[in-house]
Amino acid sequence: MFLVEKARSLLLPAVKMMDPGQEPTTDDLREFSRQARDAGRSLGNQLTTTEIADAPVRRDEREDLISALEELRLADEELRAQREALAASNDALDQERRRFRELFDFAPDAYLITDLYGTIREANFAAGRLLGLEPKFLVGKPLPSFFEESARKQYPEQLDQLCDRDRLDDWEMWLHPRRGTMARVSASISRSSRNYLAAEYRWIIHDVTARRQAQEAIREEKRELERRVKSGTVQLAAAQRIKDDLLLSERKAREEAEAANRAKSDFLALLSHEFRTPLQAIFGYTELLEREIHGPLTHAQRRDLLRIQQSQQLLLGLITAILDFARIESGQAIEMHLAPTALNEILSNMEGLIGSQLETKDLKYRYRCDDVSTAARADGAKVQQILLNLLANAIKFTPLGGSISLQCQSEPDAVAIHVIDSGIGIPIDKLEAVFQPFVQIRARNSLSNGTGLGLAISRRLAIAMGGSLTAMSDLGKGSDFTLRLQKA
């Protein structure tokens, strides 16, 4: 029993150091471990010399002593583990502190910590760049000294707002850095505690100069755009008025042109009809002369009579063309009798209709048809009229001794009839103009005895039959007019 009490007396100072209501520090744990070891050594020394020899040792006391020593060893190991854990916690805390400092220093915006009066306690690199001083030289300087005059006056009022809220955002002001130009900034402020005297004030200051300049540029662009839109609206209204006036003028001009065109067509029809009446009388008298009812004619008289008849035929052709054109221009429907038509029967007879004209100019004529059974959906009389116009034009513009050919070729969905001559040709820029009314292509120093209506009428007749009439030409070498009709 004496030995147990002795062990407890030696351990009691070390155990008293362990305050159950307070977490031990590293120094406390280290001191407790030292005292426990000293107590163990002292107890061992004393028990091995005098007291073990003199004291009566019982089994229960020995067991108590061993138990106390075991408790002492366990306490020492626990203290060692706590000391190691505390050291690891301190290392982690130091690492987090360094990481926080790096984040603080290298943040893109200016971070500062001040007291109530604005004295700077800490500042990062961005704050140094913004205020024109290195961070270590900013410590101890009043932050409001960098504010413009109006912002310095607002400083107490802005801090007073933190009494009712956790933070203050978007306080915009102008800063005067020690070096450089003034900068427009936006500041956010928070307070570390409710005790405003002992609290730290944390500042985040963002440079908004570029944003402000961009916003001002946008506003200026908007004003300029509004001005342009307003000006454009006025111009558009003026253009719309001009357009309306032009449309009105164009409508009036079109109505006047249509009225003039109708008057022209009516005049041409009336004039042609009036020409046809005396022409029929001339036909009658020439026929009487040709029959020699009033006596025989001399050779000279027959030659003159033939010239009169040729002039009559020419004049009749001109009048017929004018009447057809007037009928088409007036909008009257062209009578068509569309039916499967054997083209070879029409084409093979064309030489007989133009033979005398070919002989007069000593022109060579050739007709070729790839398939004599070819048929087209067309009006035979209109096809003959178109071909007579094309052949007459070919004869007219082909010099003496030239050649003219009429060809019929079968295509997948159509029949192509070509009238090819070796005449003067047509300029490329005139290939479409020749199909306009009253347009003629004349050779230099030559006269024309036509009206310029034949091709215009022929194309309209071709279109009315569901076909087309086109031209190709090589200037000075000849032309190729092609009539295409739908296959039957």
- pLDDT category at 7 given cuts 50, 70, 90 is very low
Select the more confidently predicted residue: 73 or 486: 486
For residue 406 the two structure tokens come to 């009429």
Strands 120-123 and 110-114: antiparallel
Q: Which segment, 34-43, 225-234, 316-325, is predicted with the most confidence on average?
A: 225-234
Q: Which domain holds residue 73?
A: 2-105
pLDDT score, position 17: 45
- Mean pLDDT rounded to a whole number for the chain: 81
pLDDT score, position 313: 72
> Each residue of 381-419: pLDDT tens digit?
889 889 988 998 999 999 999 999 999 999 999 999 999
Q: Which segment, 121-130, 284-293, 304-313, 439-448, is predicted with the most confidence on average?
A: 121-130
> Each residue of 295-319: pLDDT tens digit?
888 888 888 888 787 777 767 766 7
Q: Are the C-beta atoms of residues 57 and 3 closer than 8 Å to each other?
A: yes
Where does a domain end: 332, 359, 388?
Answer: 332
Q: Is residue 452 left, alpha or beta, with left meaning phi > 0 and alpha meaning psi from -120 to 50?
A: left
What is the distance of C-alpha 155 from the center of its chain? 52
Strands 364-369 and 403-410: parallel
Q: Within a 10 A sphere around the Cβ of 423, how many other Cβ atoms?
A: 24
Q: 229 with 196, same domain?
A: no
The answer to the question of residue 215 being in a domain is no
When mean pLDDT is compared across 3-12, 180-189, 199-208, the lowest value belongs to 3-12
Give the separation between CA 434 and CA 457, rounded to whole angstroms: 11
> Each residue of 164-193: pLDDT tens digit?
788 899 899 999 998 888 999 999 999 887
The answer to the question of residue 214 being in a domain is no
pLDDT score, position 40: 53
> Each residue of 90-106: pLDDT tens digit?
888 888 888 877 878 88
The answer to the question of residue 188 being in a domain is yes
The answer to the question of residue 438 being in a domain is yes
The answer to the question of residue 300 being in a domain is yes
Q: 358 with 467, same domain?
A: yes
Q: 373 with 478, same domain?
A: yes
pLDDT score, position 385: 87
The answer to the question of residue 9 being in a domain is yes
- pLDDT category at 19 given cuts 50, 70, 90 is very low
Q: Which segment, 9-13, 94-98, 296-300, 483-487, is predicted with the most confidence on average?
A: 483-487
Q: 349 with 473, same domain?
A: yes
Q: Which helix (H) or strand (E) holds 168?
A: strand 167-175
Q: 343 with 478, same domain?
A: yes
Strand partners, 167: 190
**Closest residue by Cα to residue 426 from 487, 477, 357, 486:** 477
Q: 327 with 343, same domain?
A: no
Is 22's pLDDT higher than 60? Answer: no
CATH number of the domain encompassing residue 348: 3.30.565.10
Select the more confidently predicted residue: 453 or 328: 453
Distances (CA, A) of 294 to 19, 89, 139, 246, 289: 168, 150, 143, 68, 7
For residue 26 the two structure tokens come to 């590293």
CATH number of the domain encompassing residue 283: 1.10.287
| Geometric angle at alpha carbon 296, from 291 and 302, rounded to 5° | 75
The answer to the question of residue 119 being in a domain is yes
Where does a domain end: 142, 176, 207?
Answer: 207
Strand partners, 366: 405
Where does a domain end: 289, 311, 332?
Answer: 332
Q: 88 with 133, same domain?
A: no
Q: 482 with 388, same domain?
A: yes
pLDDT score, position 272: 65
Of the chain, the end-to-end C-alpha distance in Å amounts to 141
pLDDT score, position 10: 47
For residue 38 the two structure tokens come to 């000293």
What's the longest Cα–Cα distance across the chain?
A: 199
Q: 346 with 455, same domain?
A: yes
pLDDT score, position 379: 92
Place of tokens 């033939």: 306
- pLDDT category at 196 given cuts 50, 70, 90 is low
pLDDT score, position 53: 42
pLDDT score, position 27: 61
Q: 391 with 455, same domain?
A: yes
Give the separation between CA 312 and CA 58, rounded to whole angstroms: 172
The tally of domains found in the chain comes to 4
- pLDDT category at 20 given cuts 50, 70, 90 is very low
The answer to the question of residue 213 being in a domain is no
Q: Are the C-beta atoms of residues 425 and 471 closer than 8 Å to each other?
A: no
Q: 260 with 302, same domain?
A: yes
Select the more confidently predicted residue: 446 or 461: 461
> Each residue of 415-453: pLDDT tens digit?
999 999 999 999 999 989 898 887 777 655 454 556 677
Q: 150 with 185, same domain?
A: yes
Is 18's pLDDT higher than 50? Answer: no
Q: Which helix (H) or strand (E) holds 111?
A: strand 110-114
pLDDT score, position 71: 86
When mean pLDDT is compared across 100-104, 123-127, 151-155, the lowest value belongs to 100-104
Percent of the chain with pLDDT over 90: 33
For residue 450 the two structure tokens come to 């036509």
